[in-house]
Amino acid sequence: MEKAESAFDGTPTNWVIEPRNIARGNIARSIFYMAHEYDLPIEERLVPLLKAWNKADRVSADERRRNDLIEDLQGTRNPYIDNPALADSEW
């Protein structure tokens, strides 16, 4: 985590705590997956930020390997790891 200047109007301070750059895409893809799989809402103002994180922090070999292991264990995959462009077409 790191301290960053807030990108949103109306926050109580000018600062927020965000994940480090290296983890932002992983977190964005996890949020998109959870919202899609469990029909959970994502606050509308966060969608552009999550999309930017998804693009800036590309899927790593470790993330792909973890997705493969999860499929082996529970039979499901995160499609946002397999195809990160889904974030733009679905959100």
Tell me the pLDDT tens digit for each residue of 6-22: 877 777 778 888 899 99
Tokens of 40: 């959970």
pTM of the predicted model, to two decimals?
A: 0.88
Q: What percent of the chain has pLDDT over 70?
A: 100
For the chain, list residues with pLDDT below 70.
none
How far is residue 80 CA from its own chain's centroid? 9
How many whole angstroms separate alpha carbon 15 and alpha carbon 38?
A: 31
Q: What is the pLDDT of residue 32?
A: 98
Cβ within 8 Å of residue 4, ≥6 positions away: 15, 16, 17, 18
